[in-house]
Structure 1
Amino acid sequence: MTQKKTTHHNIPKLRFPEFRYMGGWDGKKINEFLTESRIKGSKGDIAKKITVKLWGKGVFKKEGLKGSVNTQYYRRKKGQFIYSKLDFLNQAFGLIPAHLDNYESTVDLPCFDIRDGIDPTFLLEYVQRKRFYKKLGDIADGSRKAKRIHADTFLNFSIFLPSLIEQRKIADCLSSIDELISIQTQKLDTLKAYKKGLMQQLFPAEGETVPKLRFPEFKNAEAWEEKKMADVCIKIMDGTHFSPKSKIGSHLYLTSKNIRNGLVDLSNISYISSEEHEIIYSKCPVKKYDVLLTKDGANTGNCALNHLDIEFSLLSSVAVLRGNPLLIDKNFLYYLIDSEKIQRLIINSVSGQAITRITLKKIAAYSISLPTNKEQKKIADCLVPLDELIYAQAQKLETLKLHKKGLMQQLFPSTDEVNG
C-alpha cells in the first residue's frame, strides 16, 4: 500500500498500489444498495430471537427471554445487514451469520437485503467507524439517552464508495486483522476461564471451610478461619463524595471507570488541582498495594491491586481496603475480593434505584474465610503469574485493535458523510 498526499477529502490517505490513480470515492445513498426486509415471522412468545451486541461484537441468539404474543417478529436471512435502532450510536451493527438464518427480530432491529455494488464486509466496516455512526446522533429521534435511528433515516444517508474491487481489497485486509483479533481474544478468554476455574478450586465454595484444591504441604492443615472483612483490614474508606471543581491540574483523579480487568487503567484518566487533591487525599490517603473496589454503578464489584507509586485522588464510587499485613497477604486480599464467594456477596448486597451501590458498612461486614499466612501467600504466588500472562495477552489484543483502528483511519476518506 502507498500513502497518497491529496487535498481531496474523498480519497483515503492510504491506498493499495493498484488503486492509487483511481480518483476519489463516489458519494452514494445507502438506499441504492440496501432494501429493508419485512418477512413476517412468529409472535414474540414463540419466536427464535436474535440480538445485536454493542461495539461491533456481532449478532447472537437471544437466550431466555419469552416475548409477548402481541409482538410481531420478522424472519432474518443469512448475509443480511442488521442494526439496533436504539443502540445505533453504540455501534450495534452486524451481518446475520449462516447459523442464525431464519431467526427473528422486531422492527427495532431492522434488517436489510444487500444488493450488488457494495461488499457486505466493507459496508459493516464503514458504518462501524465512529465518524459515521456518531454523525447520525445530531438527527436521531428521541432524548440524548434514547435516540433512535429509523430505517428510512439510515437508508437516506450518504456514504462514499470506491469500486467494488477496491472495496473487497479493503474488506479482505480488515477481515484478516479481525481473524487475528478473534484468535487473540479466544486466547485471552481461555486464560481468564482457566483462572476462574482455578480460583473456584483454590477458595472454599459457599458453605465449605476448606477448598477443593490444596497445596500438598497444607493437605492436613486446619480449616480456614471465618472472619469479617473489618477484622483483617486496617482501613476501609472511600473517596470524595463531591465532584471536584477543577478539571485540569497535576494530580490524577480516579473514578470507577479506571478500575477494570484487575488493573488501575489510566487510559481515560482525569486530573485535578493540587489544592483539591490535598483536601481529598487527606481524607482518603490511598497507598501502594491497597485494594481498590468499585462500589457504585454498573461496574460494582470490579477490583484491582494498586501498583501506582504516586498519590492520586478518588471519587466515592471506589472503596479502598488496606489489609493488616500481620493477618492477610496484600495479593491474597485482592484475590479474595475477586473470588466467586465475595463477588456474590457484593451482588446480593447492592441497593439503590437510579444508581446501585454497596456501602462501606456492608463491605466491612462481609464474612470471609482465611487460611494461614503461609497458605495465603502460596495461593497468591500461584495466581500472580497467571495474571501477568492475562495482562500480556490483553496488551497484545489491545495493540491489534489499535492497529486496526489506525489502519481504518487511513483506508477510509476523512470526508464527513452528509444527509440528503
Structure 2
Amino acid sequence: MNKKEKATSFPRLRFPQFQNYGAINFKNGNHIFEPISDRNHNSDLPVLAITQEHGAIPRELIDYNVTVTDKSIESYKVVQKGDFIISLRSFQGGIEYSMFRGICSPAYIILRKKMPINELYYKYYFKTGKFIQELNKNIEGIRDGKMVSYSQFSSLLLPMPDIKEQQKIADCLSSLDDLITAEDKKLEALKKHKKGLMQKLFPAEGETVPEWRFPEFRGSGEWEKKTLGQLGELVSGLTYSPDDIRESGLLVLRSSNIKNNRICLEDNVYVRADIKGANLSLPNDILICVRNGSKTLIGKNAIIPENMPLCTHGAFMTVFRTKKAKFVFQLLQTDAYEKQVKADLGATINSINGTKLKKYVFYLPKDPKEQQKIADFLSCLDTLITAQAEKIEFLRDHKKGLMQDLFPSIRR
C-alpha cells in the first residue's frame, strides 16, 4: 500500500449513533502499541500464565503446575493491567489481554498502548477470526515454533474507530460476557445439584443401601452387587486410516463428539460406507472414551440418541450395549465409576482396558422398577442441564457472530 492509499472499511453492523461517522480508518500496529520490557520488580508480583482461554492470569488461579527458579524470575517482565501479550500460540488464538498486574516470562512480547484507546475493544478484536487470519496471512515459520515478532505485528493494520464507538462495542460484548458467565454459574449449580443428589441416591463406599430412597421402595432390602459386564456387552471401535476418510458416508464417533455427557455432532469424521470392521453404533448404546491423550476425557460417556445418522465409533472409543441404558448411564456418572477409572489410569496409563472395564463393580436395586425410577428422575435433571448448556452455546455463537460483524475488515 503506497502513501496515497488508505485502509478503511465499514463494519457489517453498526450502532445507530455511529452510522454517520463514515468509514473506519486502519493504522499500523506500531502506531497504537509499543513493546515493553520492564524488569523493574522484586519478584514479589504474581507470575502470570499466558493462556488462550483466560488471557494473562495468575498461575495460582488456574491449574498450571510449572515451577521456576528464583533466579529465572529476576528476568521476568512486568505486565500492567490493560497490557496485551503475544504468545507462541497467538497464530492460533490471537493476542492475550491481562486484567492483572504481574510478571511473565521474557519469552513473551508485551504490548502497551501508545495513545488513548479502549483496551477492551482491542481485547475482543484480537480474538476475532478476521484478525487471526490477517496475523497468519503474510507471516512465515510461525508453526515451526517461532513467535510473532513486534516487527511483524507492526505491519498489521488495526481498526481505529472513534473512542466512543470503541467504548460502545466493548460495553456490548462485555455485557454479553457477563450474561454468559451468569449462565455458566447456573449450569455449574445444576451439575452440582445433580452430583449431590446422586451421592444420596446411590450407596456410599462400603454401603449396600443409599441414604435416600423413594417412598415406595423403602424397606425393599439391600442393593445387589454387579459388574458392568453382567449388565451388558462392549462393542469395539473401528481402526481406520486417512485414506478411508470421506466428506460423507459412515459417521465415526470420537471423543470430540461427547460434550457435557451428550452426543454433539459439530466435529465430525466420515469414512467410506463399505469399510470393513465397522461395528454400527445403535440408539441407546452408551459411547465411552477409553483412550485419549488427555486423561480428563477418558471415561467420559454419553447415550447415543434416536435419529442419529448411520454411525460407528473410533478405536479410541467403545460402546456399552445394554437393555438398562438409562440406568447404566447414571451408574457411569457416579463417584464409584470415577474412582475405578482413576485407579485404572494410574500415573502414566492413558487408556481403560476393556477387560477391566467389564469388571467395574456397582450396587443397584434388585427391583427393575426402582432402577427405572432413579433413571427417570436423574434424566429429568439431565434434560435441564442439556437445555442450559445449549443456551450457553447459543450465547457464545451469538457473541462470535457479533464479533465478526461489529469489527470491520480491511478494504484498501
TM-score, length-normalised on structure 2? Answer: 0.84
CA contact (8 A) 1:209 1:369 kept: yes
Change (3 A) 1:241 1:15: same
Bigger mean CA deviation after superposition, 307-316 or 390-399: 307-316
Paired letter, 1:159:
L
* TM-fit CA distance, 1:93: 4.8
- 2:121, 2:167 within 8 Å by CA — same for their partners in 1? yes
Write the distance in 1 (CA, Å) between the matches of 2:24 and 2:175: 23
Distance 2:234 2:411 in 1: 50
Q: Over the residues paired in the alignment, what is the CA RMSD in angstroms?
A: 2.9
CA contact (8 A) 2:29 2:155 kept: yes
SS at match of 1:41: coil
CA distance in 2, matches of 1:397, 1:79: 27
State the 1:214 CA deviation. 3.2
Amino acid at match of 2:251: L
Within 2, Cα distance between the matches of 1:226 and 1:246?
A: 43
Number of equivalences? 392
* TM alignment of 1:288-303, pairs within 5 A: 288-297=283-292, 298=294, 299-303=297-301
Q: Superposition pairs for residues 13-52 of structure 1, below 5 Å?
A: 13-37=12-36, 38-42=38-42, 48-52=46-50
1:87 aligns with 2:89: yes
| Residue matched to 1:4 | none
State the alpha-carbon separation in 2 of the partners of residues 115 and 104 from structure 1. 20
Runs of 4+ aligned residues of structure 1 deviating over 6 Å after TM superposition are none
Q: Is the 8 A contact 1:280 1:313 kept in 2?
A: no
Distance 2:392 2:158 in 1: 30
TM superposition score normalised by structure 1: 0.83
Please give the per-residue CA displacement for 1:326-384, whole angstroms capped at 9, x wherever unaligned. Answer: xxx3111111112222123223323897x932232221122222222233222212211
Report deviation, 1:385: 1.0
Counterpart selection for 2:80 from 63, 77, 82: 77
Would the alpha carbon gap of residues 11 and 264 (structure 1) be closer, same or farther in structure 2, given more than 3 Å must change? Answer: same
1:121 aligns with 120
CA separation of 1:291 and 1:359: change in aligned 2, threshold 3 A: same
State the shift of 1:290 in Å. 0.9
1:96-175 aligned within 5 A = 96-97=98-99, 100-101=100-101, 103-137=102-136, 139=139, 143=143, 146-151=145-150, 153-175=152-174
Partner of residue 230, structure 1? 229
- The residue number in structure 2 matching 1:387 is 382
Alignment-mate amino acid for residue 81 of structure 1: F
Contact 1:50 1:62 in 2 (8 A): yes
Native 8 Å contact 2:8 2:25 kept in 1: no
User: Equivalents in 2 of 1:71, 1:179: separation in Å?
Assistant: 37
In 2, Cα distance between the equivalents of 1:207 and 1:151?
A: 61
Give the aligned partner of residue 199 of structure 1: 198
Give SS of 2:123's match.
helix
Once the two structures are superposed, the pairs formed by residues 266-345 of structure 1 within 5 Å of their partners are 266-276=265-275, 279-281=276-278, 284-297=279-292, 298=294, 299-310=297-308, 311-323=310-322, 325=323, 329-345=324-340
Instruction: Give unpaired runs (5+ residues) of structure 1.
Output: 1-7
Aligned-pair distance for 1:124? Answer: 0.5
Local SS of the residue matching 1:249:
coil
- Amino acid of the residue matched to residue 305 of structure 1? I
1:231-255 deviations in Å (ceiling 9; x for gaps): 111x202221123614133432222
> Is the 2:9–2:411 Cα contact (8 Å) retained in structure 1?
no
For 1:358, the aligned partner's letter is I
Are 2:235 and 2:320, in contact at CA under 8 Å, matched by a contact in 1? yes
**Aligned partners of 1:13 and 1:411 also within 8 Å:** yes
Counterpart Cα distance in 2 of 1:221 and 1:40:
71
Q: Which residue of 2 aligns with 1:60?
A: 57
1:304, distance to aligned residue in structure 2 (A): 0.3
Aligned to 2:406: 411
Distance 1:361 1:137, change over 3 A: farther
**Separation (CA, whole Å) in 2 of partners of 1:106 and 1:416:** 36
Q: Verify the 8 A CA contact 1:82 1:94 in the aligned structure 2.
A: yes
State the AA in 2 paired with 1:229.
L
